[in-house]
């Protein structure tokens, strides 16, 4: 038990050293927003294009394309974050060593590794969650109901995401949440208009 506590204490120290919590929070919001809008695009795009002619095909396409898009986005985001953070941490580390005129090892290097892994993991997991949850209704509801439910879930997710950010900066959380929802609704309207004019 003492080893576990020591490990947790060490991780907290490494997190604080690289400000990993703030970076992870930023990556979670960016990744989740991307995932939510991506699956919204899949749901509306496929529904407008196929639902009236091939409703069962539309359901399969939404599930298949939504899952594939979520996985692809997770891999893309995770790898992108890993490489971007790795390069940034290496540059920061080199600048620090140049300023100190000596090599820096130990906790600083360990913290760098933890920061990179945390950033990549969060940025990879966030879009996958945001993309997969709205697809759940399509497994057990009629297509029309599933589309409405999926869109509502996406909008609720966007609102919670925005409200979370607003709360962090002590802004009225409803205001920030609605800004995210408006972005989602604007995306939905554009997709419907595009789909209605082949």
Q: Could you give the maximum distance between any two Cα atoms of the chain, in Å?
A: 70
Average pLDDT score over the chain:
81
Of all residues in the chain, the percent with pLDDT exceeding 70 is 78
Average pLDDT rounded to a whole number, residues 96-114: 65
pLDDT, tens digit, for every residue of 25-67? 888 888 898 899 999 999 998 998 887 788 889 999 999 999 9
Instruction: Output the pLDDT for position 63.
Output: 94
Contacts of residue 168, defined as CB under 8 A and 6 or more positions apart, other chains included, come to 25
pLDDT, tens digit, for every residue of 132-175? 999 999 999 999 999 999 999 999 999 998 888 777 777 777 88
Q: Predicted confidence band at 68 (pLDDT cuts at 50, 70, 90)? A: very high
Take residue 57 and report the two structure tokens written for it. 């095909």
Q: Predicted confidence band at 107 (pLDDT cuts at 50, 70, 90)? A: low
- Distance, in Å, from the CA atom of 161 to the CA atom of 168, rounded to the nearest integer, reads 11
């Amino acid at each position: 038990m003492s080893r576990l506590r020591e490990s947790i204490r060490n991780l907290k120290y490494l997190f604080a050293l690289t400000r990993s919590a703030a970076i992870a929070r930023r990556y979670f919001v960016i990744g989740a927003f991307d995932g939510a809008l991506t699956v919204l695009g899949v749901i509306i795009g496929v529904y407008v294009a196929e639902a009236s002619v091939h409703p069962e095909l539309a359901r399969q396409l939404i599930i298949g394309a939504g899952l594939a898009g979520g996985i692809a986005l997770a891999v893309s985001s995770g790898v992108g974050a890993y490489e971007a953070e790795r390069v940034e941490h290496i540059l920061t580390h080199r600048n620090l060593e140049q300023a100190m005129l000596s090599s820096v090892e130990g906790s600083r290097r360990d913290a760098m590794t933890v920061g990179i892994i945390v950033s990549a993991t969060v940025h990879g997991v966030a879009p996958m969650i945001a993309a997969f949850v709205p697809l759940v209704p399509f497994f057990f509801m009629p297509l029309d109901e599933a589309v409405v439910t999926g869109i509502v879930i996406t909008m609720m997710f966007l609102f919670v995401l925005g409200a979370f950010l607003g709360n962090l900066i002590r802004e009225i959380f409803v205001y920030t949440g609605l800004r995210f929802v408006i972005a989602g609704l604007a995306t939905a309207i554009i997709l419907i208009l595009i789909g209605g004019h082949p």
